[in-house]
Structure 1
């Protein structure tokens, strides 16, 4: 187990690897399920409880199964999400907006949840992507250990580089449990991050349109 963790740390420090290459390296050196369950038992004991008592005896297995779902973003390639576009859009050339995409993620600093909504817009060039695919891209990056800032950058970069639209806009608003449950303990505080590419970045009026659309009156 120690050898695996040391290898992961060396991989993370290797500046010659891209983020994708580093993730692939980590995937090939992934600890076994038994190692993961043993780690959960250790944490239970470190917290002060008995991992062998009735209520906790199967907790390591349940936690590992939950982790497979909570962090499934590591195992889904982007190409499988944005692998199909549609060209029958007539003369449509305005922005497409998908707002209120609910997501759940985990802070990479404390491994506690943060959750919120993502709002995404893009200007298509001849072809559009299925609306559910945009939500899937959000989930792809949310279901990892994250910071909100990095997640914002990853989502917009993925859409911009794959779809090659005239521009992409994203705004994410979230509440972080590492700020609500521990430390400063300020429940209800929200964090907002946003980023623009293409026409959204170059034309402030398009930024205003985007903000008005996602902040406008709800139906």
Structure 2
């Protein structure tokens, strides 16, 4: 599948993807560095399991969000041009600093121009970008930019609320802190009334 310019510019892929055996060897090294024996019973199959898990966690690198949107958009004979809002899209991602999970909900709105998109495609775009090494700030911006480009929308609004394991289990050790990020493009950036409607609807 050909990737869009947005996909390749936002998250350039590694010049050489290591082999499966190299990935498993890396896990064994980390287990040994942690102080345990990667060959002992209970850990023998851990490198394979971790490699499988990483394949799921980071499957977003093999998907093109723009292609997903283009496959699911269609002309709207009703000429609907008001806000379309999806509230409470669950996501889980991994921070690029510690490869620790962060998870929460995304609220996504767009204002269509000539075409609308199947609602599941919006959730799919959130999932694609979440399944890459991320910061929550960049994740919000990438989702918004992809929707703006892929839908040729009049505007896009994103609000994401998440809890970060790297803050809960290490460092500051604040398990109850939530991080909230926003991204507004197009009409949502320039129209304060529309932006206020979005935030009020999200918090209802």
TM-score tier by shorter-chain length is: over 0.9
SS of equivalent to 1:39: helix
Please say if 1:159 is aligned against 2:147: yes
Task: Give the TM-score normalised by the residue count of structure 2.
Answer: 0.92
Q: 1:195 to 1:79 in 2, by over 3 A?
A: closer
Structure 1 stretches (4+) deviating beyond 3 angstroms? 21-25
Match of 2:3 in 1: none
* Partners of 2:13 and 2:202 in 1: CA distance: 39
- Alpha-carbon distance between aligned partners in 1 of 2:122 and 2:9, rounded to the nearest angstrom: 24
Give the direction of change, closer, same or farther, for the CA distance of 1:24–1:175 in structure 2 (3 Å limit): closer
The aligned residue for residue 7 of structure 1 is none
Highest relative contact order (Cα 8 Å, sep 6+), 1 or 2?
Answer: 2
Gap runs ≥5 in structure 1: 1-17
Aligned to 2:27: 40
Q: CA RMSD in A?
A: 1.6
SS of residue in 1 equivalent to 2:70:
coil
Distance 1:22-1:198 versus aligned 2 partners, 3 A rule: closer
Residues 102, 117 of structure 1: 8 Å contact kept: yes
How many residue pairs get aligned? The number is 198
Picking from 148, 167, 170, the partner of 2:136 is 148
Partner of 2:124: 136
Choose which of 144, 158, 162 in structure 2 pairs with 1:170.
158
Which ranges of structure 2 fall in alignment gaps of 5 or more residues?
1-5
Structure 1 residue 78: Cα displacement: 2.1
